[in-house]
Chain A
Amino acid sequence: MVSIVVGPVILAIMGAFFGLLYLGIDRKLVAHMQGRIGPPIIQPFRDVGKLLMKESIIPDGALSWLFKLAPILCLMGSAVLLLYIPIFGQKALLEDFGDAIVVLYLLIIPSLALVVAGFSSSSPYATVGAQREMVIMMSYEFPLAMTIVAIAWRIGHVAETNPFMFSTVATYPIWSLVGPMGVAGTLILLIVLLLVTTGELSRIPFDLAEAETELAGGLLVEYSGRNLVLFYIADAIKTFAMASLIIALFFPYSLSPVVGIEALVPAFVVDALFFLLKILLVMFICVMLIRAAMARFKIDQVSKIYFIAMTLISLVGLILIWVDLVM
């Protein structure tokens, strides 16, 4: 009972802490890649502290209750994700109550909250940003669902329990089920999911909804002070959750059995550190490398990439896994 009440709060705080930490690492590494020194790793915490000191303005034309509600919704939507996705190599808190499909639905909530925020602030920039966010949301949803379903479908052939459960995915890691063809297929699906993550988190090159240069901050253009902080933290938590999702689906391994540590606490520490390392690797590929290397796409290019290219590529991955199964 206590864990149901206290657990989510602790999880949200931990998610925010590590999310902000990873944002700091992201900024530092990208700066190094661009030949700059970059801000210190704790910079996002300083930004949060600073934003808390600022005045929160609610524009005259805005729908004020919705304008104030949207950031809270966004933060809660992101925090709830952490209840269902296994993190730190442990079981998720509400693992028995939800599976990958629930996560698929929950992932929409923060984006929807952003759209609501954009429309309720009654600024033309924010409206355009909200429309773009909706288009991107609809575009990446299909390849995302396809990837998750493909993995679960393959696991469903060997597992007796619900293959969408993260515990099932962890018991039957996808890589050990498939042959060479299937490994190629799984690799393709992994790449698709990594690129979907970039869009899901609206990072360059898919950051059209916030496009600093053309939309002046897009969705968040009217937000300031405390309300902006909530979005900032929600973004950090969502980043952390998305990286955890990839790890839960593709790399559900823990280190402690391998190195032979059995005592409860040391095993937990080893697993947690290993998990943080995995998150760093995932983020390095899908956020940092791409961000440092690319410029922003146009909105029609984004939907083409996701709707046509990514869907076809994930289909190829699915077919490879299927061929591997029947042969």
Chain B
Amino acid sequence: MSLNSFKRALWLYHINAGSCNGCDIEILATLTPRYDVERFGIVLVGSPRHADVLAVTGPVPRQMVSRLKRVYEQIPDPKVVLQVGSCGMEGGVFHESYNLVGPVDQIIPVDVYVPGCPPRPEAIIEGVVKAWVKLEKAAEQRIT
């Protein structure tokens, strides 16, 4: 089996962990004709079972912790986590809010961070490309 299988086919599942919706709209913007990530084979899927990449937005409030973990576990291996937005890294505009459990990397392992509040679609696409490289490595390790 070729190791380049992931090279041009990547399915992405997006979970909103208490974000303000800013980042989510930027993720959707990457699908629009201006950026059109589908031309690289990147597709947004509706089920974590189909996904290769988990894109997490938001600072993770208390209610989301168990859900986030479950969604992460539902994704079949090999998988990577792409964390989009500043607030999932250290709280951002929600810094030290009473109901936050995040940042995201305290709950699930994060592979790629995309900073910005919200990040530009170009930045998100670059993050996905970085995730791709990691995914190839993960696939390689799984085979050998």
What residue in chain B is nearest A49 (Cβ atoms)?
Answer: B5
Note all chain B residues with C-beta closer than 8 A to A84.
none
Q: Mark A43-77, 1 if CB is under 8 A from B, else 0.
A: 10011011011111100000000000000000000
CB distance from B7 to the nearest CB of A (A): 8
Q: Which residue, A36, A215, A223, has most C-beta atoms of chain B within 10 A?
A: A36
- Taking the complex as formed, is A38 at the interface, i.e. its CB lies under 8 A from any CB of chain B? yes
Q: Check B46 against A50 for contact (C-beta < 8 Å).
A: no
Interface size on B, residues (CB 8 A): 26
Note all chain A residues with C-beta closer than 8 A to B38.
27, 31, 36, 38-39
What residue in chain B is nearest A55 (Cβ atoms)?
Answer: B76
Note all chain A residues with C-beta closer than 8 A to B78.
53-55
Assembled-state Cα–Cα distance A50/B41 (Å): 11
What residue in chain A is nearest B6 (Cβ atoms)?
Answer: A50
- Taking the complex as formed, is B77 at the interface, i.e. its CB lies under 8 A from any CB of chain A? yes
What residue in chain B is nearest A42 (Cβ atoms)?
Answer: B8
Which one, B5, B9, B76, contacts A43 given CB within 8 A? B9
Q: Given A54-B78, A223-B49: A36 and B5 within 8 A (CB)? A: no
B interface secondary structure, majority? loop
Assembled-state Cα–Cα distance A243/B45 (Å): 27
Q: Check A53 against B6 for contact (C-beta < 8 Å).
A: yes
Which one, A34, A37, A40, A228, contacts B50 given CB within 8 A? A228
What residue in chain B is nearest A50 (Cβ atoms)?
Answer: B9
- Taking the complex as formed, is A173 at the interface, i.e. its CB lies under 8 A from any CB of chain B? no
Assembled-state Cα–Cα distance A55/B75 (Å): 9
Which one, B1, B6, B36, B40, contacts A31 given CB within 8 A? B36
- Taking the complex as formed, is B24 at the interface, i.e. its CB lies under 8 A from any CB of chain A? no
Q: Given A36-B38, A38-B38, A54-B76: A43 and B47 within 8 A (CB)? A: no
Note all chain B residues with C-beta closer than 8 A to A31.
36, 38-39
What residue in chain A is nearest B49 (Cβ atoms)?
Answer: A224
Q: Check A36 against B39 for contact (C-beta < 8 Å).
A: yes
What residue in chain A is nearest B139 (Cβ atoms)?
Answer: A53
Assembled-state Cα–Cα distance A200/B139 (Å): 36
Q: Given A39-B38, A43-B8, A55-B77: A50 and B52 within 8 A (CB)? A: yes
What residue in chain A is nearest B8 (Cβ atoms)?
Answer: A46
Note all chain B residues with C-beta closer than 8 A to A222.
47, 49
Which size bracket describes the interface of A in this complex? Answer: 20 to 34
Note all chain B residues with C-beta closer than 8 A to A50.
5-6, 9-11, 52
- Taking the complex as formed, is B74 at the interface, i.e. its CB lies under 8 A from any CB of chain A? yes
Q: Check B77 against A39 for contact (C-beta < 8 Å).
A: no
Q: Given A37-B36, A39-B38: A212 and B9 within 8 A (CB)? A: no
Q: Given A47-B9, A53-B139: A221 and B47 within 8 A (CB)? A: yes
Note all chain A residues with C-beta closer than 8 A to B74.
57
CB distance from B35 to the nearest CB of A (A): 9
- Taking the complex as formed, is A281 at the interface, i.e. its CB lies under 8 A from any CB of chain B? no
Note all chain B residues with C-beta closer than 8 A to A52.
1, 5
Assembled-state Cα–Cα distance A27/B40 (Å): 13
What residue in chain B is nearest A121 (Cβ atoms)?
Answer: B49
Which one, B1, B8, B39, contacts A53 given CB within 8 A? B1
Q: Mark B66-103, 1 if CB is under 8 A from A, else 0.
A: 00000000101110000000000000000000000000
In addition to A36-B36, A43-B8, A224-B49, 20 A-B residue pairs with Cβ atoms within 8 Å of each other are: A31-B36, A31-B38, A37-B36, A37-B39, A38-B38, A39-B39, A39-B41, A47-B9, A50-B10, A50-B11, A53-B5, A54-B76, A125-B47, A216-B46, A216-B47, A217-B50, A220-B47, A220-B50, A223-B49, A224-B76
Q: Which residues does B use to contact A, with CB under 8 Å?
A: 1-2, 5-11, 33, 36, 38-41, 45-47, 49-50, 52, 74, 76-78, 139
Q: Which residues does A use to contact B, with CB under 8 Å?
A: 27, 31, 34-40, 43, 46-47, 49-50, 52-57, 125, 212-213, 215-217, 220-225, 228
- Could you list 15 A-B pairs, sorted by A, with CB under 8 Å? A37-B36, A46-B7, A46-B41, A47-B41, A49-B2, A49-B9, A50-B11, A53-B1, A54-B52, A54-B77, A55-B76, A125-B47, A216-B46, A217-B49, A224-B49
10 tightest CB-CB pairs across the interface, nearest first?
A217-B47, A55-B76, A212-B46, A216-B46, A46-B9, A50-B9, A224-B49, A36-B36, A35-B33, A37-B39
